[in-house]
Each structure stands twice: as C-alpha cells, then as structure tokens.
A and B are shown apart, each in its own frame.
Chain A
Amino acid sequence: MLVVVFFVLTVTLFPLGVGPEASVLRRIAPGVIWVSALLAAMLSLDRLFQVDFEDGSLDQLALAPLPLELVAAAKCLAHWLSTGLPLLVISPLLGILLNLSGEAYGTLLLAMAIGTPSLSLVGAIGAALTVGIRRGGVLLSLLVLPLYIPVLIFGVGAIDAALVGLGGNAHLLVLAAILLIALPLAPWAVAGALRLNLE
C-alpha cells in the first residue's frame, strides 16, 4: 500500500513543479506516470530479500528441495503482485489527474501490464546482488535504474504512439519481448546472486 501512496504522491509533485497547465500536463503525463512507477517499483526492491536474509529464512529456502531459481521466480511474482499490480490499477486514476486523453487509457493499462513484470524481474537481480550490503539501497538504484530505461522508453513510446493515432502495438511488442527475455533469464541470475551471497 505504501508503494501506491508513494506513486500517487510522486505524480502529484509534477503539477506542482511544472505548473497546473492542462496542455503541458497532458503532454508529459505518460512519462510522469512511467517514471513514478519505475521509482515506486525500485523503492520496494531492497526489502525483497533483505528481511529473509537477516532472519535466516533465505538460507532455509536455499537448502529446501525446491530449486532456488523457482524460489526467485516466486519472489518476483510476489513483488509484482504487491507492487506492479497496485500501480497498474491506480495508473488510470493518475491519468485522469494529469488530463491524459481518453484514447490512451487502454494502451496505458496494457503497457503497464506488460512492462511492470519486467521491472520486478530485472529489479530482483539488483536486489539479490546487493542483499548482504549495508545500506545497499543507493547502490541498488545505481545498478537497476540503467537497466530499467528500455522499459521506460517503450512504455512511454506506446502511450505516445496511441495518442497520435499510430497505435502502440510496435512498442507493446518490444515490451513483451523484453518480458520474454527477462522471464527465463532473470530468476537464473537472481538465484546465482543469492547463492553467492549465502556462501
């Protein structure tokens, strides 16, 4: 829930920062929503493995018969359900607040639905790499944000394309491609990084 509050609050800052002019807000709405979603998703990452690491349950999970890759995938899914999905649900409301035009809402929802799972998957790699590090939060953002940029570009691109009437399909397909690459590879990298930090 806190993540959603953070998301809404960040978006609220933009009209205060750039001025309440409707045409300006409409123009920057896709970018503002995506950037805020990115930051909100990143903010919750450092707790993804940290608590389990501190109380030792991560060791238990690593010793359990279930492959650590599957545990990692389950963790990513949990992160998406607790972060990505709420962001997705609330994003049309923020679109209204920012005067986003009517024809863009379908694409906004689709782009968020395809894009946010990639954020959880890629972010989990950063979270797993920084799990043992004291105050790893800043390092985590340095590692993860550059990797988030493609999702941001195509997420915003899809909505912008829909706004000018081109249809966001091409961008949505690239987002789907990113997800399909991240889906099998990220849990593998996460498990590798976790094993390393549990040694």
Chain B
Amino acid sequence: MVNWHRLANPKLFLTWSRRVLPWAAVITALLLAVGLYLSLFVAPPDYQQGDTVRIMFVHVPSAWMALFTYTVMAGASAAGLIWKSPLSHLTAKAAAPIGASFTLLALATGALWGQPMWGTWWVWDARLTSVLILFFLYLGYMAIWQAIDDYTRAAKSAAILALVGFVNVPIIKFSVDWWNTLHQPASVLRLDGPSIHPTLLTPLFVMIAAFTGYFIVLLLIRLEREILARQAQTLRRAQARG
C-alpha cells in the first residue's frame, strides 16, 4: 500500500515523479498511437457524417479533459485551502494552462466539425457558450496568479476563484440535458448505456485514455518545473538576505 500522503512532500514527490514519468510517457505514447490508428483507419465512417465523425475522436476527449482538468484544479485548490498541503496550490497552478489548452482545442475542433455538419462555425447554444465561459475562467485563474507577487496570497486568491468558478462545471455537463440545444445530448455517459456503436466507442475510449495520460505526463512535468522554480526563488531570497 502506497502512502499517498507522503507525496505531498515536494522532495519525495520529485523522486516519485521522476520514476513514474518515463512509464507514463511510454504508456501515453502507445495509447495515442493505438487510438489514432483505430480512429483514423479502423473505425468505419459514419453513415450520415462520413469521415467528419473522426473529428469527434479528438473533440470529445478534449472536452472531457477540459472539464476534468478544472475539476482537478478545484479539488486541488480546496485541498490546499483546507489541509494547506504544500503541493496542492502548485498542482492547480500547473494544471490551469493545460486545461485552457484542452478547452481551446475542444472549441476549435467543435467549430471545424460544426462547419460541415451544422453549416456554421459557431452557434450561441448552451453547451458552446458555457464551454467558452470555462475558457474565460481558466484565463482569469491564470491572470490572478500573474497579478499577485506574494506566493501565499496568489495561491489562496486563485484557489477561491477556482472554487467559485467550479459552479460552471455541472452547468456545462448538464446543459445539453437542461436546454434543448443544437449540441447533441449526452451519448456516452448516460443511465441506459451509451448510444454509440462499439466500433466508434472503442477508439473513443482509447483516445480518452490517451488524453488522460497526456494530461498526467504534462502535469508531472509542469509540476516539477513549478516546484523547482519555487525552490530557486526561495534560495535566491535566502541569498539576498545574506
């Protein structure tokens, strides 16, 4: 049984992360290769959408990761405020730009798919609008880290903002059920089972696993960088004090 609490110690985390990172990277690369092969060559074209359906194998995982990353961020922020664990705030900080990129990717691929399918790049429907808000929330979160110099104040301010913004996540998830929108309703995670054919569902799940792995790899790299930057800053201060 691994004692996960010990990973909250930056030094132990660094040794652990350096050991895990190569494996995570290899697994992610494999998953991505398999997922791309399945979604580009094996999966049949949709009977209505044709080959355009393949955009979904990037769009859906990015959208999931956009929400997942914000959830990780909010969870880490809450943990940081409650238990004052040293790595929590840094985890949230490291996750934010990744989440913002996934959100942008989801919006961009959605627009690319929407143009041939709906005949428009963008509609102001509930799902699209709330994801756009999510993107702005990420930007606000990153901006507040930028604006405040003092580490503790920046960390806690950003954490409060992340928690306040978290109300948006369930709104996005359920927007397609609550409002009658152009965006299709949930078709994978629903009570009566997925409404997608297995030939399309398998590559989708492999791609989601690959995206999650990619997120973990990026998060570990960014977190390590954040920890080192923070240590360097502390050392410089100590040096300046002489």
Contact = CB atoms under 8 A, between A and B. Distances in A.
Contacts of B136: 142, 145-146
Given A132-B153, A136-B147, A193 B160 contact: yes
A129 B165 CA distance: 13
Contacts of A149: 129, 133
Interface stretch (B1-9, B42-50, B137-145, B231-239): B137-145
Given A139-B143, A139-B147, A199-B153, A147 B160 contact: no
A122 B161 CA distance: 11
A125 interface: yes
A196 B156 contact: yes
A125 B164 CA distance: 9
B157 interface: yes
Given A129-B144, A133-B147, A146 B137 contact: yes
Given A129-B161, A147-B165, A139 B153 contact: no
A171 B200 CA distance: 38
Nearest to B124: A153
A97 B171 CA distance: 35
Interface in B155-180: 156-157, 160-161, 163-165, 167-168, 171
Contact of A196 (B139, B153, B167): B153
B108 interface: no
Contacts of B129: 149, 153
B117 interface: no
Interface residues of A, number: 23
B148 interface: yes
A143 interface: yes
A99 to B, nearest CB: 24
Interface centre among A129, A150, A197 (most CB of B within 10 A): A129
Interface string A144-161: 011101100100000000
A143 B153 contact: no
A189 B148 contact: no
A167 interface: no
Contacts of B144: 129-130, 139, 143
A166 to B, nearest CB: 14
Given A142-B136, A147-B164, A189-B164, A129 B157 contact: yes
Contacts of B143: 139, 142-143
A143 B161 contact: yes
A147 to B, nearest CB: 7
B140 A193 contact: no
A192 interface: yes
Contacts of A129: 144, 157, 160-161
22 contacts: A125-B160, A125-B164, A130-B147, A132-B148, A132-B153, A133-B148, A136-B147, A139-B144, A142-B139, A143-B143, A143-B161, A145-B136, A146-B133, A146-B140, A146-B168, A149-B129, A150-B171, A153-B129, A189-B160, A192-B160, A193-B157, A197-B153
Interface of B: 129, 133, 136-137, 139-140, 143-144, 147-148, 152-153, 156-157, 160-161, 163-165, 167-168, 171
Instruction: List 8 tightest A-B contacts by C-beta distance, closest first.
Output: A146-B136, A143-B140, A196-B156, A142-B140, A146-B133, A129-B157, A139-B147, A133-B147
